[in-house]
A = this chain, B = another copy of it.
Amino acid sequence: MEAMERTTLIGEQTSGSEQPMTLALLRNVPVFRDVDERTLHGLAAIATLVVVPENTVLCQQGIQADRLLVLIDGQVALENTTPSGASAVVEVVRTGGHLMLSAVLSGLPGLMSARTVTAAKLVGLEAEGLRSLLHREVSLAAALLRAEAVEFGAMVRQVCDLKLRTTAQRLGCYLLALTEETKANTVSLRLPFDKRLLAARLGCRQENLSRAFAALRRMGVETHGARVILHDIASLRDYSAPDGDVEIDAI
């Protein structure tokens, strides 16, 4: 695993007082959708572009986060390690998501480490500057409060998922959330990451994930490596009972 110190020196590109490219990137990020133009310029002024390879540690659990990271391209796993050394993948953030929001806003030490699953491009927003901007710009405060609420909601959904559903049902919900197909009963999709990480994200051992895939065969789920075909979405939905509005990747 490469250390952040080295990779950021390689991949990082500092912003000028207002880097036009960073501004364009921020404008397209969902969390800043309703932020006004003046505030976007304020954000660009405290922004840094970060380009890092796979398996780079971006933040360490227990350390105060020094910036909010917005994921422009790639995937980042958020992991929590217990004192005994066991490690759980809490979430896998995908393109358009962000990380370390509540740590940055609260100033509390982060609860999770962040590690890139793929090569990734991010925009870092310096924590101190962000907090001071937040107190001046109402549209930013509203956007970030809403983003925190969505993150909280995603965690609440996972808690309920883990308390109420079997591994096969959780896998079914996960697969259903990967597709935006609303009309047809069949869809072909690609798992966004490998099965080892998928098992960790769902909170099960790899052998249980294989068993869960086998159990879903009756509901028309066919797998070929990372490619998955859902032959009977209605039946999978009945079996897995997903929430009304699943937003598992809303973080």
Interface residues in chain A, defined as those with a beta carbon under 8 Å from any beta carbon in chain B? 62, 80, 82-84, 86-90, 102-103, 105-108, 111-112, 134-135, 138, 141, 145-146, 148-153, 155-160, 162-164, 200, 203, 241-244
Which residues of B are found within 8 Å of A157, using beta-carbon distances?
Answer: 111
Indicate if the CB atoms of B102 and A163 lie closer than 8 Å.
no
Sample (8) of A-B pairs whose CB atoms are under 8 Å apart: A102-B149, A108-B150, A111-B156, A145-B148, A148-B148, A155-B156, A163-B203, A164-B203
CB-CB < 8 A to A146: which residues of B? 105-108
Query: Which of B80, B149, B162 touches A105 (beta carbons < 8 Å)?
Result: B149
Nearest-neighbour CB distance to chain B for A57, whole angstroms, equals 18
User: Do A103 and B155 have beta carbons less than 8 Å apart?
Assistant: no
CB contact under 8 A between A149 and B148, given known A80-B156, A135-B141, A163-B162: yes
